[in-house]
C-alpha cells in the first residue's frame, strides 16, 4: 500500500516547509519539501513538486491535507503504564491508545511496576504483555537497585538491543527502588553503551522537610506544601551529585523531569565537560506552577514537585534554546479515589500523555518557540539518546510513524474525551492548541478524525 500525504506543512528538527510525505508499506518512501506553492520555488522545491505530481498518479491513496502539519510521531521515553501489578490504574492497551491522541507513536516504560523490572527476565515478561496489545511501539527501561549491579552490567554488555536505558531512583518515588549506595551508584555510572536515566531528589532533605511539615500540620498537610517538602534544594543536591558522577565516569546521563531553573543551568554547564549529558522535562512542568496547588491539590502532586512560575518560565526558555533536550510525559496514572486521599496517603503522579503534543504546541505558540525545536525534543532527540533504530524522523527508509495535526483547531480537555483507564486528568477544562487528526504507526492508519481505529499496530523498539 502506497499512500501520499500532500499539500501539508512538513516539520522536522531542521526545517519547516510546505511539502508531502510518501508512505510505502510500513516505511517512509520519500519526504518532499515543496515550499510555498504560490512562489516559483528553488530548484530543489520545483523538483520535489514534480515528484509529488508523479506520485499522485501512482499511489494507491492520495490524501490532501489542506495545509495541516506533518511531524514524526513522538517518542515518549518516560511513561508508567502500570502493567504488571497495578492494572486497576492503567495498562499497556489503554494508555497506548491514549498516547496516540497525544501524538506519541512510541513509548519506553519505566521499571517501577509490580514486580519491578530489575532483571532481563522480568523485562522480557513485560514485553510479552505488550505484544499484540500496544497501539504504539513499545520498549522498556531496566531498573537499578542497591543489589542488581551485576545484572545491569551484563545486560548492557550482552542485551543492548532489548532495553532503552538504566533507570536510577536517587530519590524515592512510586515503588521501592531507591538507590542510595555510593558503591552501587559509582558502578552504575561506570556502565557505558546505555543511557543512565536518573530521578534526582535528595532523600535526606525530603525526610527532614516532611518531618517539619508533619510537626506543623499533623495529618492535614496542605498540598501547597509539596514543593516545600520535595524541595528545589532536594532536586539541586541530587542532580549535582548525578552530574558530578557523570562527568567523572563519562556517563551518558539522561537527567529526568528537570523541574528547576538551577538544574537546567547545571546541566547546560555540565554538557561542556561531558557532551553525552542530556536533560528532559515534561509538559507538566511547562504548564503548571505552584499557584495551581490550591485549586488542583493532589491532581498536580507529582515527584519531583511542580515548582514556581519562574521555574516554569525558565524551562520554557530551556526548551526554546535547546538546553532541554527531550520531552517525557512522566505519564503516571492513579485511580481517582486514590488521589482523593490526604497529602501523605495520596500517591504522586498524574496522567498526561494524551495531552503531550497539544500542550507543547500551545506552549510553543505562547513563547514563540520554533516548531523545529518541538520536532527535535518530541521525536528526534529521544531516538538519538536511546539509539532507537529507524524511528523518530521523517526520513526515507524510516518506519512510517507519522502524526498529522490541525493547527487551526483548539480543543478543550473534557472528562469524556479522555482515553485513560483512570478516567481523569489535571488538564480538564484547559483549551489547547492543535488537534491530532491522523496517526500512522508502522504505516497503518491508527487514528482517523481523532478516533482510534483498527487493531493495535505497535511493534517492539530495537535499540542500538
Active site residues: 330
Nearest to 412 by CA among 362, 452, 453: 362
| Alpha-carbon distances, residue 456 vs 27, 92, 94, 270, 444 (angstroms) | 17, 11, 11, 41, 10
Check if the beta carbon of residue 337 is closer than 8 Å to that of residue 220: no
Q: Is the peptide bond before 7 cis (omega within 30 degrees of 0)?
A: no
Rounded to whole angstroms, how far apart are CA atoms 375 and 363? Answer: 14
- Encode 68-85: b = buried (16+ Cβ within 10 Å), e = exposed: bbbbbbbbbbbbbbbbbe
The dihedral sign for the CA sequence 463, 304, 285, 357:
positive
The enclosing H or E element of 98 equals helix 92-101
Q: What spatial distance separates the first Cα and last Cα of the chain, rounded to whole Å?
A: 29
φ/ψ (deg, to 5) at 342: -70, 170
Nearest to 87 by CA among 353, 421, 460: 421
Measured from the Cβ of residue 462, the count of other Cβ atoms closer than 10 Å reads: 15
To 10 degrees, what angle do helices 182-189 and 149-158 make?
A: 0
| Alpha-carbon distances, residue 164 vs 76, 176, 269, 274, 400 (angstroms) | 11, 21, 26, 20, 21
Rounded to whole angstroms, how far apart are CA atoms 217 and 200? Answer: 26
φ/ψ (deg, to 5) at 344: -70, -25
Nearest to 263 by CA among 245, 243, 283, 249: 243
Amino acid at each position: 500500500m502506497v499512500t501520499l500525504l500532500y499539500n501539508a506543512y512538513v516539520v522536522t528538527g531542521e526545517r519547516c516547509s510546505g511539502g508531502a510525505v510518501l508512505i510505502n508499506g510500513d516505511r517512509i518512501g520519500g519526504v518532499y519539501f515543496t515550499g510555498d506553492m504560490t512562489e516559483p520555488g528553488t530548484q530543489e522545491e520545483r523538483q520535489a513538486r514534480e515528484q509529488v505530481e508523479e506520485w499522485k498518479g501512482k499511489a494507491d491513496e492520495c490524501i490532501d491535507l489542506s495545509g495541516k502539519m506533518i511531524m514524526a510521531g513522538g517518542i515518549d521515553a518516560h511513561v508508567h503504564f502500570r502493567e504488571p501489578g497495578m492494572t486497576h490504574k492503567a495498562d499497556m492497551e489503554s494508555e497506548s491508545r491514549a498516547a496516540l491522541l497525544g501524538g506519541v507513536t512510541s513509548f519506553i516504560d519505566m521499571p517501577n511496576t509490580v514486580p519491578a523490572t530489575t532483571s532481563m527476565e522480568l523485562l522480557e515478561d513485560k514485553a510479552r504483555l505488550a505484544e499484540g496489545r500496544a497501539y504504539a511501539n513499545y520498549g522498556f527501561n531496566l531498573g537499578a537497585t542497591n543489589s542488581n549491579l551485576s545484572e545491569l552490567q551484563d545486560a548492557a554488555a550482552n542485551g543492548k538491543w532489548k532495553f532503552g536505558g538504566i533507570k536510577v531512583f536517587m530519590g524515592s518515588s512510586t515503588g521501592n527502588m531507591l538507590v542510595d549506595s555510593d558503591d552501587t551508584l559509582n558502578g552504575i555510572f561506570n556502565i557505558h553503551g546505555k543511557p543512565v536515566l536518573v530521578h534526582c531528589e535528595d532523600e535526606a532533605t525530603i525526610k527532614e522537610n516532611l518531618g517539619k511539615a508533619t510537626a506543623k500540620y499533623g495529618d492535614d498537610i496542605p498540598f501547597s506544601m509539596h514543593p516545600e517538602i520535595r524541595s528545589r534544594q532536594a532536586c539541586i543536591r541530587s542532580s549535582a551529585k548525578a552530574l558530578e558522577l557523570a562527568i567523572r565516569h563519562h556517563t551518558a546521563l539522561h537527567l529526568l523531569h528537570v523541574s528547576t531553573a538551577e538544574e537546567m543551568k547545571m546541566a547546560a554547564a555540565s554538557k561542556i565537560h561531558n557532551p553525552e549529558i542530556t536533560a528532559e522535562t515534561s509538559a507538566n512542568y511547562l504548564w503548571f506552577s505552584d499557584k495551581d496547588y490550591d485549586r488542583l491539590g493532589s491532581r498536580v502532586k507529582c515527584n519531583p514537585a511542580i515548582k514556581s512560575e519562574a521555574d516554569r518560565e525558565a524551562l520554557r526558555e530551556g526548551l526554546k534554546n535547546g538546553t532541554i533536550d527531550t520531552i517525557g510525559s512522566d505519564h503516571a496514572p492513579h485511580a481517582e479515589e486514590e488521589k482523593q486521599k490526604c497529602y501523605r496517603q495520596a500517591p504522586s503522579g498524574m496522567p498526561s500523555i494524551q495531552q503531550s503534543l497539544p500542550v507543547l504546541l500551545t506552549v510553543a505558540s505562547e513563547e514563540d518557540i520554533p516548531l523545529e525545536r518541538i520536532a527535535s525534543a518530541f521525536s528526534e532527540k529521544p531516538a538519538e539518546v536511546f539509539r532507537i533504530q529507524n524511528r523518530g524522523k521523517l526520513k526515507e527508509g524510516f518506519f512510517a510513524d507519522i502524526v498529522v495535526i490541525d493547527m487551526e483547531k483548539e480543543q478543550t480537555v473534557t472528562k469524556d474525551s479522555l482515553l485513560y483507564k483512570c478516567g481523569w486528568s489535571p488538564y480538564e477544562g484547559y483549551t489547547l492548541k492543535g488537534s491530532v487528526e491522523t496517526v500512522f504507526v508502522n504505516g497503518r492508519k491508527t487514528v482517523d478524525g481523532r478516533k482510534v481505529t483498527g487493531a493495535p499496530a505497535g511493534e517492539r523498539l530495537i535499540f542500538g
